[in-house]
């Protein structure tokens, strides 16, 4: 699989709608101090894709914070000190941040704040590129400050039917998401070009 496509994520959201609704119900009313594996930063204009990403990441076994899923009472059109304080608490209680980057992401005023905040405390931030159509991963290039962060790709594990998430800095610099998540390290100088897998 290349970079996540909008249609792929929308298909996940649609095919697992009932499961998502069950997760949605159980995700609400959680303690403000609950620890999340992933804070999923995104543009609300990508709501359907984010629903698919949320499903995909939770299917991998990660606890994921998405504001409108976990805290649906937050009003994006009326930001208060209290709502900003709650989002800040959620970021403090998140072990990493994944940024769903799309054409809509540049319009979000929250994304740079969230990215900077979590990066400063965890040093575990990565990009999940979301494209309108299926494109090869080599064609993803982060713009401006986003080029500082690695990106996520889903690949099958060699010799198995199992898929894993990979964190990629370059063709020969990458690690499985679980390894990066636990120690923050991306292995360099590998012998296999990940874009050829």
Q: Look at residue 105 and tell me whether its pLDDT is greater than 90.
A: no
Residue 112's DSSP bridge partners are none
3-state secondary structure of 15: helix
- The mean pLDDT of 131-140, rounded to a whole number, is 57
pLDDT at 32: 78
For the chain, which domains are there?
A: 4-196 (3.40.50.10140)
- The mean pLDDT of 142-171, rounded to a whole number, is 84
Measured CA distances, 112 to 48, 101, 136 (Å): 21, 11, 26
**For residues 179 and 147, which has the higher predicted lDDT (pLDDT)?**
179
Residue corresponding to tokens 């101090």: 33
Residue corresponding to tokens 């990458």: 174
- The mean pLDDT of 82-100, rounded to a whole number, is 92
Distance CA 75, CA 98 (A): 22
pLDDT at 179: 93
Is residue 189 left, alpha or beta, with left meaning phi > 0 and alpha meaning psi from -120 to 50? Answer: left
Residue 81's DSSP bridge partners are none
Question: What is the reported pTM?
Answer: 0.86
């Amino acid at each position: 699989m290349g970079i996540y496509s909008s249609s792929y994520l929308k298909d996940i959201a649609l095919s697992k709608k009932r499961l998502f609704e069950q997760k949605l119900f159980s995700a609400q009313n959680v303690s403000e101090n609950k620890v999340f594996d992933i804070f999923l930063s995104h543009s609300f204009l990508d709501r359907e894709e984010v629903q698919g990403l949320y499903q995909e990441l939770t299917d991998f076994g990660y606890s994921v914070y998405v504001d409108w899923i976990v805290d649906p009472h937050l009003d994006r059109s009326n930001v208060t000190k209290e709502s900003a304080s709650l989002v800040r608490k959620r970021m403090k209680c998140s072990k990493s941040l994944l940024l769903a980057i799309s054409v809509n992401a540049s319009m979000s005023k929250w994304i740079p704040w969230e990215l900077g905040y979590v990066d400063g405390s965890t040093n575990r931030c990565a990009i999940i590129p979301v494209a309108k159509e299926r494109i090869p991963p080599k064609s993803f290039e982060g713009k401006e400050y986003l080029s500082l962060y690695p990106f996520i790709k889903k690949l099958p594990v060699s010799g198995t039917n199992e898929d894993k998430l990979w964190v990629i800095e370059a063709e020969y610099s990458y690690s499985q998401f679980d390894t990066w998540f636990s120690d923050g390290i991306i292995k360099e100088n590998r012998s296999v070009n990940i874009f050829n897998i």
